[in-house]
Chains A and B, each alone.
Chain A
Amino acid sequence: MTAFLVVLVIILFGVAVWQMTKVFEMSKTKQTDTGDIASDKDNKVNGYLMVMFLVFLYVLAIVCFWKWGDVLLPEAGSEHGSQIDNLMLISMILIFFVGIVTHWLLLSFAFKYRGEKGKKAVFYADNDKLEFIWTIIPVIVLAGLIIYGLFTWTDIMNVSEEDDPLVVELYAYQFDWRARYSGDDNTLGEANVRLIEGVNQLGVDASDPNAQDDIVVNELHLPVGRKVLFKMRSQDVLHSAYMPHFRAQMNVVPGMVTQFAFTPTITTEEMRQNDDVVEKVRHINEIRRENSKELAAKGEQPLESYEFDYLLLCNKICGISHYNMQMKIVVESQEDYEAWLAEQPKLDETFAQLKENR
């Protein structure tokens, strides 16, 4: 597939170059003595090319949607995510409408009014009414977008205590993530990088009573339908906790605690059944099988087949292995979540172990 695309693009480009040089050669031979200043012939040729450019842009947009529409993120797995997707859809429709119309105007004018000797341009210097119209229309449209956007934003960023969110710490370091659950008291114990010691990787304060039931894990499990409040901490440099499927992102900053909250609405199992995801996974596995064939020919291990999982990615350049700093997220029912959590060791065990080692 890739090879085919490569060849196609190269051939199309070759044809374009060949055609263009031919066109310009032709225009060169019949040139009047305008030297390197555009002649009527140049105006005509380039005017037509402007129309072709317009067609190219429209075709490019259509081809991209047709070929790569399926790589886009599937439906949002969080409550606020659908609001964002909605606003995104409205903005996109607006953008495409304005883009299509303005390009049509720009490039069709470029064709229609291409220069000819003796033709008179219209001396048209200003028109306050027109200026007013294209000031006021963006004002109204943007006012709508701003208001919608700000309500959505405030809604997402304001976390009220009444929601009784599950408090989870996301801890970032070069180049991995840890999650710390706050345990039965739903309160995280105090922590500071100065307390990092041996197995106490997150620098949690052993003397804090709130810390004793905290649980540190390297895979994020979330109960469906309950609001989760992430408190984020970095050990070394800036990182960013990016959870694209939940439309969630917040930078993780050394020296401060940042936060982001959302309510997962679709379990991992349900998401795997989603039509878009099924299609995407099928496509990815097809690619992986193709690549495996090549690997097998070289005598290397074939690639494993892929199954969908939510991901937490690092999205702020953080060093050499930035590209591979990720953590799996599992969204499951409340019961499954509790069962999983019960199996994880609590921090008091870690503290005890630490004491023994001293």
Chain B
Amino acid sequence: MSAHTEDLAVDHHDDHGHHHKQTFISKYIFSTDHKMISRQYLITGIFMGIIGILMSVLFRMQIAWPEEPFTIFEIFLGKWAEGGVMDPSVYLALVTIHGTIMVFFVLTAGLSGTFSNLLIPLQIGARDMASGFLNMVSYWLFFISSVIMVLSLFVEAGPASAGWTVYPPLSALPQAIPGSGTGMTLWLVSLAIFIASSLLGSLNYIVTTLNLRTKGMSMTRLPLTIWAFFVTAIIGVVSFPVLLSAALMLIMDRSFGTSFFLSDIYIAGEVLHNQGGSPVLFEHLFWFLGHPEVYIVILPAMGIVSEVMATNSRKPIFGYRAMIASILAIAFLSTIVWGHHMFVSGMNPFLGSVFTFTTLLIAIPSAVKAFNWITTIWKGNLQMNPAMLFSIAFVSTFITGGLTGIILGDSALDINVHDTYFVIAHFHLVMGISAVYGLLAGVYHWFPKLFEGRLMNKNLGYVHFWITAIGAYGIFFPMHFVGMAGLPRRYYTNTNFPYFDDLADINVVITIFAIITAAVQVVFLYNFFHSIFYGKVGPKNPWKSTTLEWTAEIKHIHGNWDGPIPHVYRWPYDYSKLNKDETGYVIPGQDFIPQNIPLKENEDELNH
């Protein structure tokens, strides 16, 4: 294998020199260059994120002030908010599309798509992805699915509104809810294309990681980012096809009269012919993807955080092998815990016991990771760059959100908090906010690699971080109380009967925090787009990092390295390594040794 890699490397730099003429279209639109595709993913993801977050602000306003009409509702929702009063069906549409967009379009494509594409070739020492063409197709499929999802917002009867989990029969029958007409069809088509895009991307990531590593880059010398992206891609390949099958069967039930998920239904004054299907089957298929999906979202964030934390602590990541082992353990367990979403779905209670067992096991590798991160910053020399701040906050929200998972994963306790706001608070902290922090940490950290050496403004970054960090807890910590009070999720208003009247001020506080937190993202957007054009150009390796991407050219060139591909001689975490007699750093005056520096005489070879 290493011989093969070398051949390829030689091949490539022979190639180098005769540049293709790049037209605008081949450079910016149908680009096969992984760096450009990465930017495309990021910017599309950010655009979808703006829509998703804006939606959350709208429905949070509705929850906080249910009787109040708002002109802003009428501006954004038009006929669904005449006189500024939000229609109940559009409320459900908003929560549905918010969930779909954030989970799939922002945190799957925007996070994993951006950073897998950017970092896999750069950090393993490859000229590009294994297949640049498939990579381009993957992005454009994602783009088409985004367009369809956005278009579905404008259809006559409204977009899909059966919740992001689209459980049938509600999602299958237009008689049951208006959004289950054309809106739902577009949702399913969009998701089917999204899955194709995700699969092409994932296969590419796996092949690239396995085959295109530069000489010396063994699997145990890979940065944790790559391990995370690699394993994420594997989970995606294993579980996304199952969602596709569920989506196809749902399309058949909706349009071709089959009964995979439908049985014994009397609706709108008539009995449907469907017989013998089961909605519980759909739940199994959905969550067979749906649960691994949360790890597809969080593992890349974990990889990014590990990398950013080690670099900015000027210390090796603590327990490199334990970190890899826990990524693998989490990935494996993630595929056998889906049933914890279904404790009260009507499935056999014995299955509930099995899923409780496997679910609580996931807490073990997660705990190992959390303690390893904490130990990584212990006795470090922490450089408080915005990326580092987001990484620290990631560990915080991951712990807070993860701990409440102990309650939800326990079938007996789940009975009473299932589908309440407790769940919303839990998963927003552990996978929503945490993954967003991972994404933001990645953007601040690798901005110079994305945009040719430019850095984002740090002071705007600090303002963005602190308000976001406080705001996120302000939203989701009190939300646990709402859930523990027994308030079900997806209620258009909580004041229709008196029992939940006393939750009004909590909901107001949550909404205010939500508005502030959403508003401060404008600071980020400004900083991001402004820095693309006017950001200060920093040094080639601004964070003094050891990994290969910082040895690549600042200017984006086809093939990444102007000369030969660097070879690798050490693991990626030689920060603050001392020489043999412990009198100073191995390289005097420099507290890091890049991976492409051969072992020196004055250092011990350590086996990590």
Contact = CB atoms under 8 A, between A and B. Distances in A.
Interface of A: 1-2, 5-6, 9-10, 13, 16-17, 20-21, 24, 27-28, 35-38, 42-43, 45-47, 49-50, 53, 56-57, 60-61, 64, 68, 70-73, 83-84, 87-88, 91-92, 94-95, 98-99, 102-103, 105-107, 109-110, 113-116, 119-127, 130-131, 134-135, 138-139, 142, 145-146, 149-150, 152-154, 156-158, 173-174, 192-194, 196, 203, 235-238, 240, 242, 244-245, 247-251, 253-256, 258, 280, 283-284, 287-288, 303-304, 306, 311, 313-324, 326
Interface string B345-378: 1100100110011001101100110111111011
14 contacts: A16-B466, A37-B455, A53-B466, A123-B575, A127-B318, A150-B356, A237-B170, A237-B173, A240-B418, A253-B278, A253-B345, A254-B262, A256-B280, A317-B490
A138 B365 CA distance: 9
Contact of A242 (B378, B419, B505, B512): B419
A121 B314 contact: yes
Contact of B361 (A5, A24, A142): A142
6 tightest CB-CB pairs across the interface, nearest first?
Answer: A255-B263, A244-B486, A157-B349, A46-B384, A258-B346, A323-B491
Query: Main secondary structure on chain A at its contact with chain B?
Result: helix
Contact of A109 (B264, B377, B501, B578): B377
A64 to B, nearest CB: 5
Contacts of B427: none
B21 interface: no
Interface string B302-325: 000000000001111011111000
B558 to A, nearest CB: 28
A158 B349 contact: yes
Contacts of A154: 349, 353
B130 interface: no
A11 to B, nearest CB: 11
B178 to A, nearest CB: 8
B470 interface: yes
Contacts of A158: 349
Contact of A37 (B360, B466, B538): B538
Interface stretch (B51-59, B403-411, B547-555): B403-411
B415 A84 contact: yes
B403 A194 contact: no
B315 A235 contact: no
Given A126-B320, A142-B363, A287-B501, 8 more contacts: A2-B505, A56-B470, A71-B503, A72-B481, A99-B400, A235-B266, A322-B491, A323-B494
Contacts of B318: 124-127
B277 interface: yes
Nearest to B282: A238
Contact of B516 (A13, A94, A99, A157): A13
Given A68-B478, A319-B177, A126 B349 contact: no
A106 B484 contact: no
Given A107-B396, A247-B415, A72 B344 contact: no
B264 A193 contact: yes
Contacts of B352: 153, 157
Contacts of A120: 381, 576, 591
Contacts of B266: 173, 193-194, 196, 203, 235-236
B412 A156 contact: yes
Given A91-B407, A284-B502, A316-B419, A256 B346 contact: yes
A200 B361 CA distance: 49
Contacts of A318: 170, 176
Contacts of A53: 466, 469-470
Given A256-B278, A283-B502, A123 B577 contact: yes
A72 B417 CA distance: 12
